[in-house]
Amino acid sequence: MKFNKLLKKLKLYLDADAEQLQQEDEGLSKVLKKLKKKEQALQSAIEKERDDEERELLEQELNIVHSQRKKGIGLLSEIRKKNGAE
């Protein structure tokens, strides 16, 4: 294991706040990946959908997922900034 990684582990061990931030980082990253997949799935579903009403609903959902991703990305970058500052 490289020295930097060991140092980071030690820092995490000593600092409970940093550990929480790390957990949030991991959680957000995972959810954002899932949201990206969901966004792609919705896009392809919209292309296939023939019913106008259903398509409109899917588009609404896509907008929501898009906004959620934007919000998630914003939150993640804030966490990373904080992590870097400590």
Partner 1 sequence: MGNTLRKVLLPSIMLVLAYGFWISPDFKEISAGVAIFLFGMLALEEGFRAFTGGILEKVLRKSTNRMWKSLTFGFTAATVMQSSSLVSVITISFLSVGLIGLFEGLGIVFGANVGTTTGAWLIAGFGLKVKISAYAMPMLVFGVMLIFQKSKSMKGVGYILVGLGFLFLGIHHMKEGFEAFQNSLDLTAYAMEGLAGILVFTLIGIIATIIMQSSHATLVLIITALSVQQLTYDNALALAIGANVGTTITAVLGALSSNVEGKRLALADVLFKVAAGIVFIALMQPIMGFVDIISSLIGLADDDYTMKLAVFHTIFNLAGVIIMVPLINPLIGLVTQLFKSEPDIHAQPKYLNEASLEFGDTALEALRKETARIYERSIDIIAQGLSLDKADILSDTKLKNVIKAHDKAVEFNIDEVYEHEIKSLCSAVLDYTNRLNVDPVTARQVSRIRLANQSILIALKDVKHLQKNMLQYINSDNAHISSEYNILRQRIAKVIRKLESIRSGEVSATSILSLDALKLTLEKNVSLLHERLDVLIRDGHISADMAISLMNDSNYTYSIINSLIQINHNYLKSEEGSETAAEHMIALNREEINSVLTGNDKIADDGKRRV
The least distance separating partner 1 from the CB of residue 12, rounded to whole angstroms, comes to 14
The least distance separating partner 1 from the CB of residue 5, rounded to whole angstroms, comes to 20
| Residue 55 in tokens | 């398509």
Alpha helices, H only, the chain: 3-14, 16-48, 52-85
* Interatomic CA distance for residues 27 and 10, integer angstroms: 21
Q: Give the residue with the Cβ less far from partner 1, 11 or 37.
A: 37
Q: Give the residue with the Cβ less far from partner 1, 6 or 20.
A: 20
Q: What angle do CA 25, 30, 35 make, to 5 degrees?
A: 120
24 near partner 1, rule: CB under 8 A = yes
Q: Which residues bind partner 1 (CB under 8 A)?
A: 23-24, 26-28, 30-31, 34-35, 37-38, 41, 57, 60-61, 63-65, 67-68, 70-75, 77-79, 82
